């Protein structure tokens, strides 16, 4: 796994042709294909029809019941509330974890900001404990810093 190559390929997707959702889907597929410890990769976007609500966007992985998540609820809702990246290396130790699958062991959620406005977040689950290395965290954050141009 070469994070520089992955970042370059993600940048090509972001700068290329396609709709916002097509580009987000392509980034999900890129990360899913290239990073072995990523088992569910997706985006939650700010719901257009309800304040302080996240709505499931493009993703790769098993289907989830969590298609709408209120700000403040679970790791995704907490990231939306605080606008901080959350890395949980062992979800069994997180009080506010919303279980999507019994197989999930660790998770990262990275907010996406367009200027001062929160527009969504990248959410990644892993079936491996302690899967989110500093290198992977920095890769996800860098991709999310580049995404606002498509919103």
Task: Name the average pLDDT for the chain.
Answer: 94
Residue 15: count other Cβ atoms within 10 Å of its Cβ: 11
pLDDT digits (tens, 9 = 90+) for 11-33: 999 999 999 999 999 999 999 99
pLDDT digits (tens, 9 = 90+) for 39-92: 999 999 999 999 999 999 999 999 998 999 999 999 999 999 999 999 999 988
Prediction pTM value: 0.95
pLDDT digits (tens, 9 = 90+) for 92-115: 887 666 666 678 899 999 999 999
**CATH code, residues 3-150:** 3.30.450.40
Average pLDDT of 123-141?
97
Residues 6+ apart with CB under 8 A from 66: 56, 74, 76, 98, 100
Ranges of each domain in the chain: 3-150
Question: Do residues 147 and 140 touch, judged by C-beta distance below 8 A?
Answer: no
């Amino acid at each position: 796994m070469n994070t520089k190559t992955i970042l370059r390929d993600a940048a090509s997707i972001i700068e290329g042709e396609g709709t916002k959702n097509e580009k987000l889907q392509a980034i999900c597929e890129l990360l899913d294909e290239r990073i072995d410890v990523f088992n569910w990769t997706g985006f939650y976007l700010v719901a257009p029809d309800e304040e302080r609500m996240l709505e499931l966007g493009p993703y790769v992985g098993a289907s989830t019941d969590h298609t709408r998540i209120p700000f403040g609820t679970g790791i995704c809702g907490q990231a939306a509330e605080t606008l901080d990246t959350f890395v949980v290396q062992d979800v069994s130790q997180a009080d506010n974890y919303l279980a999507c699958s019994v197989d999930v062991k660790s998770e990262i959620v990275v907010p996406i900001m367009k200027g001062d406005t929160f527009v969504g977040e990248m959410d990644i689950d892993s079936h491996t404990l302690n899967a989110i290395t500093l290198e992977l965290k920095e890769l996800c954050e860098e991709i999310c810093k580049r995404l606002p141009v498509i919103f």
